[in-house]
Amino acid sequence: MLRLLRDEGLLLEANYQRERRQLAARRKAAFATEPTGPNQVWQLDFSEFETAGSGIWRLAGCRDYWSKYELDWHISPTANQHDAIAAIELAVKEAESLAGKPLAEFATRDADGTVKPLVTIVTDNGGPFRSFRIEAFMATRPELRHIRTRVRTPGQHGSRERGFGSLKYEKPFLEEIPDALDLVRHAEDYRRDYNTLRPHEALAWNQPHDVHTGAADPLVPNFPEHENLPIA
C-alpha cells in the first residue's frame, strides 16, 4: 500500500519540510537585492503554444530580470530537463555574444580563487527544474546559480510570464499557427522586435537591447522631456 501511494505521488517525502525551508531561504535571497545590471538574475520557464498542424509545442527561454531582454529561445514538443538545459545553454551563448566574452570572466573570485556565481537563474519548482541533471549541469558552470521558487508564484516570476503573455496575445491567440516552423519564425520575429524596436515602459521607454548592452539607462528616457513654456 505504501508503495502504491508513493508511486501515485500521494505521499510527501521525508525531507519535504526541510526542502520547503531551503527553497524559501533561496527565494528570499534571490530577490532581496534588486539587480543593478544585466546578467545578474534570469527568469526561466516554459510556455505552451498550439499549432494547427503539428500539435502543441513548448517554448523555454531566459529573460533578464533587469534589462527585460529576451535571450534566445528553445522550442520543442517536450518540456523536460533536457529542454531546460538546452534553453540555459542558448541563453548563455547569446549573453556571452552580447557581452563580448565568457560570463565566467565577469564573475568575481573568493580568497581561494573559486568563481562566485554571477547569474542567478530563477525557475519555479516544476519537474523539469528539479532533476539531478540540472544540478549537475550547473556544477560545470560555476558562474551560474539555480534557485527554484514555488509553482505558480506570479509575484516572483511575473516578468517571465508577462513576456510569454505578450508573445501569445499578439498572434497565436489571434491567428492560427499552421505548424512548428511557423511558430519558430513568429517567435523569433517577435523576440527581435521586442528586444530592439519596442520601447519598454519599465525601462523609461528604452529598448531592452540598448539597456542590456549599456547603450541606454533604464531610468533615463530616450526622448526630450516635456518643457513647460512660460505664460506671458
CATH of the domain at 176: 3.30.420.10
Reading the chain (232 residues) residue by residue, the pLDDT tens digits are: 666 656 555 555 665 556 555 555 555 555 557 899 999 999 999 999 999 988 999 999 999 999 999 999 999 999 999 999 999 999 999 999 999 999 999 999 988 888 899 999 999 888 899 999 999 999 999 999 999 986 555 455 678 888 888 888 876 666 788 999 999 999 999 999 999 999 999 999 999 999 999 999 999 987 766 667 777 6
In a domain, 230, yes or no: no
CA distance 76 to 56: 9
Tell me the C-alpha to C-alpha distance, in Å, between residue 36 and each of 9, 30, 59, 141, 229: 41, 13, 28, 22, 36
**Tally of domains in the chain:** 1
Give φ, ψ of 6 to 5 degrees.
-65, -40
Cα dihedral across residues 214, 219, 222, 224: positive or negative: negative
As beta bridge partners, residue 61 has 45, 73
In a domain, 197, yes or no: yes
In a domain, 100, yes or no: yes
In a domain, 68, yes or no: yes
Q: Which residue has the cell 519599465?
A: 202
Q: What is the DSSP string of 76-92?
A: ES--SHHHHHHHHHHHH
Model pTM score: 0.81
In a domain, 56, yes or no: yes
In a domain, 24, yes or no: no
The pLDDT assigned to 161 comes to: 85
Domain that holds residue 139: 42-212
